[in-house]
Amino acid sequence: MKTVHLIQHTHWDREWYFTENDSRTVLYYFMADVIARLEADESLGPLVLDGQTVVLEDYFQVAPDNRERVLKLITAGRLLIGPWYTQTDFLVVGAESITRNLLLGMADCQTLGSRMPVGYVPDSFGQSAQLPMFLAQFAIDRAVIWRGWCEHDVASSEFIWRSADGSSVTTAVLPWGYGCAKWLPTNAEEAWRVLPGILQKQAKFSASAQILLPNGNDQSPFEYGVPAMLDTLNEQQAEYRFVRSDFSRYFQALEGETLAEFQGELLSPKYMRIHRGIFSTRMDIKQANARLENFVSQQLEPLLSVVWRLGLPYPQTAVENIWREAMKSHAHDSIGGCNADRVNAMVKARLTSGQESASQLFELNMKMLAEGIDARQQGKKIIIFNSLPYERDGRVALTLYVPGTDFCIVDASGQPCRWQIVHEEQQDMSVIVQELSNSTTTVWYRKCTLLLEAKALPACGYQTLYLQEDCAAGFVATSGEISALENGWLRLTLDEGQISLLDKRSGKRWEHILQLVDGGDAGDNYNYSPPEEDWRVTSDGALTSATWQRGTLADTLTLNWSIAAPVDQLARQQHLCNAQLNVSMTLALDHDRPLLDVQVSLDNTLRDHRLQVEIPTDIGEMFHFADQPFGLIRRENRPQTLAVWQQEQWTEAPASLWPMQSLVMMHNQSHGMCVVTEGLREYEIPADKPATLAITLLRSVGWLGQANMPWRPGRASGMVLPSPDSQLTGPFHCHFALLPLHQGPDATFWRDVENWRTPALGWLDSGWSRFKTNPHGKSFPSSYSLLSWDTPLHFSTLKKAQNGDALILRGWNPGTSLLSSAAPVAAGDITPVTLAETSLCALQKTVSACAPVSWRIQPAKEGKSDA
Q: Bridge-partner residues for 241, per DSSP?
A: 3
Q: Which amino acid is at 657?
A: L
- Whether residue 729 contacts residue 589, with contact meaning beta carbons closer than 8 Å, is answered with no
Nearest Cα residue to 590 out of 862, 394, 824: 394
Distance CA 148, CA 131 (A): 13
- Whether residue 96 contacts residue 62, with contact meaning beta carbons closer than 8 Å, is answered with no
DSSP state of 391: -
- Whether residue 394 contacts residue 759, with contact meaning beta carbons closer than 8 Å, is answered with yes
Cis peptide before 781 (omega within 30 of 0): no
Nearest Cα residue to 327 out of 627, 102, 51: 102
What is the distance between the terminal CA atoms of the chain, rounded to a whole angstrom? 59
Tell me how many degrees the CA angle 69-73-76 measures, rounded to the nearest 5: 140
Helix (H, G, I), strand (E, B) or coil at 130: coil
Nearest Cα residue to 712 out of 521, 532, 527: 527
Distance CA 275, CA 16 (A): 15
485-486 and 787-788 beta bridge pairing: unpaired
Cβ-based burial of 490 (10 A; exposed 0-12, middle 13-18, buried ≥19): buried
Task: Spell out the long-range contacts of 745-750 with Cβ–Cβ below 8 A and sequence spacing 24 or more.
Answer: 745/665, 745/667, 745/672, 745/674, 745/815, 747/792, 749/674, 750/792, 750/794, 750/814, 750/815
Distance CA 434, CA 437 (A): 5
Helix (H, G, I), strand (E, B) or coil at 543: strand
Which member of 13, 89, 123, 590 is catalytic? 123
Is-catalytic flag, 123? yes
For the chain, helix, strand, coil in percent to 5 are 25, 35, 40
Q: Which amino acid is at 338?
A: C
79-80 and 47-48 beta bridge pairing: parallel
Residue 502 Cα distances to 197, 674, 748, 749, angstroms? 62, 14, 19, 17
Catalytic site residues?
123
